[in-house]
Amino acid sequence: MKKCLISILSIVLFISCNEMQEGEIAYTINEQDLIPEGITYSEKSDYFFVSSILKTKIVQINAVTCKSEDFIPSTRFNRRFLGMIVDQKRNHLWACGNMKVDGKTYSSVFKFDIDLGKLIKEYNFPDTMQQLLNDLVIDRLGNAYFTDSNNQHIYKINAISDSIELFYEGNEIEYPNGITISPNEKYLYIASYEKGIRVLNIKSREIVNEVNNTIDSKDLDGLKMYQNSLIGIQNYLDDIHNTKIVRYYLDHTQTQITRAKIIDQDNPHFDVPTTHVIVSNNLYCLATSQLNNVDWEQYTIADPSKLHEVIILKYELN
């Protein structure tokens, strides 16, 4: 798959290695077979939420006491949870979930009341196409935008009509994963595994940037906006030692990447890091998903002897 970085701009990634952080262990979850995928945070409750792609549940972590417990137990919904986000204004937790049963895939977006720990609504799809709902972002009005990785789709749940619409589709966002939004809510940023970070004008529904062949932003999982930059995790590479957290700086139009900087690479705690959440000026990375230790045909642990605790690393941003 990849990939030699040969351009001068790409070399910036390696030159900045001496500025990298090692990250500190902020939280651990002793449920070794959790196989987490998504992480988010509620300012009001001061809880982190971690989704399980294997055990069909969502775990909450008290940010003060570090205690973890089930927020949504495995027995409640038959979905393998991936990306999540908290609507801070309304204190709602949104989560993407998928499940294959007898060869058929069922995909849903869930909206939970964090205070009550109850489901507000489950959004299901009448579409017969096999979907993989992956990650989502919320705007100030409460509209939810989320990616369908299987079909190059971006969907929107309209906050007023409370209905789902296909917002964008096209090969320009081939295999979309992470998604985030600009502070002025003019653009959506979409992490395409094959084409890197793409910028979608929300009003015109058009991609406004070209594929960047000089700064590598492909193979990203998770994507967050921070101070006119985008932060993502490159985790599905041929060489696991190239697994890294990267910060991509934008120009004044917020549509073009001008340079990139590695926050961390080849951390000894990395075991397929997936997603992250930014709290104040700190980044919390779900460092040990252990996704490579799953038999995805049987949805079982491939080698139980290799399991270890889930680690969340903390990095200071500036």
Each residue of 24-65: pLDDT tens digit?
A: 999 999 999 999 999 999 999 999 999 999 999 999 999 999
pLDDT tens string 238-254: 788 899 999 999 999 99
- pLDDT given for residue 169 in this prediction: 95
Residue 16: pLDDT band by 50, 70, 90 thresholds?
very low
pTM here is 0.92
- pLDDT given for residue 1 in this prediction: 34
Burial class (CB in 10 A: 0-12, 13-18, 19+), 133: buried
Residue at 206 is within a domain:
yes
Distance CA 273, CA 292 (A): 11
> Is pLDDT at 6 greater than 90 in this prediction?
no
Residue at 1 is within a domain:
no
> Is pLDDT at 126 greater than 90 in this prediction?
no
Phi/psi at 231 (5° precision): -120, 130
- pLDDT given for residue 14 in this prediction: 40
**243: which 2 tokens?**
């697994």
Strands 220-225 and 153-158, by their bridges, are: unpaired
Residues ≥6 apart with Cβ < 8 Å to 88: 42, 43, 44
Residue at 110 is within a domain:
yes
- pLDDT given for residue 138 in this prediction: 98
Containing structural domain, residue 45: 8-316
Cα–Cα distance list, 126 to 3, 105, 281, 306 (Å): 39, 12, 41, 40
Arithmetic mean of pLDDT, 101-122: 92
- pLDDT given for residue 101 in this prediction: 84
**81: which 2 tokens?**
């949870």
Provide the number of structural domains found in the chain.
Answer: 1
Distance CA 213, CA 105 (A): 35
Cβ–Cβ under 8 Å, residues 56 and 299: no
- pLDDT given for residue 2 in this prediction: 33
Residue at 89 is within a domain:
yes
**90: which 2 tokens?**
């309304």
- pLDDT given for residue 130 in this prediction: 83
**111: which 2 tokens?**
């909206």
Residue at 308 is within a domain:
yes
Residue at 3 is within a domain:
no
Residue 128: pLDDT band by 50, 70, 90 thresholds?
low
Mean pLDDT, all residues of the chain: 91
Q: Extract long-range pairs of 285-289: CB within 8 Å, 24+ residues apart.
A: 285/23, 285/39, 285/233, 285/245, 285/312, 285/313, 285/314, 285/315, 286/36, 286/37, 286/38, 286/39, 286/50, 286/310, 286/312, 287/23, 287/311, 287/312, 287/313, 289/35, 289/36, 289/37, 289/53
Residue at 14 is within a domain:
yes
Arithmetic mean of pLDDT, 281-306: 95
Report the 10 Å Cβ neighbour count for 60. Answer: 20
CATH number of the domain that 304 lies in?
2.120.10.30
